[in-house]
Structure 1
Amino acid sequence: MTTIDLDSLSIEQLAALRDQATDKLAEKVAARQAELEAELDKLAQYGKVVKKSQATPVAKTKKDEAAKSDNTASDVSRAA
């Protein structure tokens, strides 16, 4: 990669370099996004990704239910 002496460039040259760098970055980002979208499309044929909200919920244990009923009973006794 060529090293550029930024101190030797004029304001106009620096602005043009900045614009070129911005354009090149946008071009590379767009190309990479297209690659990733193509890869996602290819992977989609193997099935849909399951979101966490669609996953099977974990069954509560009796210990959890007992603790919940104890808390409910103590809440009722405090209210009385």
Structure 2
Amino acid sequence: MAKIDLDSLSIEELAGLREHATDKLFEKVAARRAELEAELEKLVQYGKPPMKKTESAPAPKAKKSEEAKEPKESVAKAA
């Protein structure tokens, strides 16, 4: 890769370089993602499909029923 003397570039040239580098990065990431997704599709046939993460919160814990609380209250009243 050719070295670029960043100190010699103007602000506009640096901004253009940054934009070009960002665009190229997104292109490469998208291409690699497509390659990996294609490979994953091939592998799925050999095993279970990948588990998808669920964004739901865990189920709330069960609370004690009102019936379980009543004997304690009646014992307290009797005393």
| TM-score of the alignment, normalized to the shorter chain, above 0.5 | yes
Whole-Å separation in 2 of the counterparts to 1:24 and 1:48: 35
1:29 paired residue number: 29
Asked if 1:44 corresponds to 2:41, the answer is no
Using CA pairs under 8 Å that are at least 6 residues apart, name the structure with larger relative contact order, 1 or 2: 1
Whole-Å separation in 2 of the counterparts to 1:45 and 1:24: 33
Residue identity (%): 75
Q: Which has the higher helix share?
A: 1
Aligned CA-pair RMSD: 1.4
Asked if 1:10 corresponds to 2:10, the answer is yes
Q: Which consecutive aligned stretches of 4+ in structure 1 deviate over 6 angstroms post-superposition?
A: none
Paired residue total: 51
**Offset at residue 47 of structure 1 (A):** 1.4
Could you tell me the TM-score, scaled by structure 1's length? Answer: 0.60
**Offset at residue 50 of structure 1 (A):** 7.5
Could you tell me the TM-score, scaled by structure 2's length? Answer: 0.61
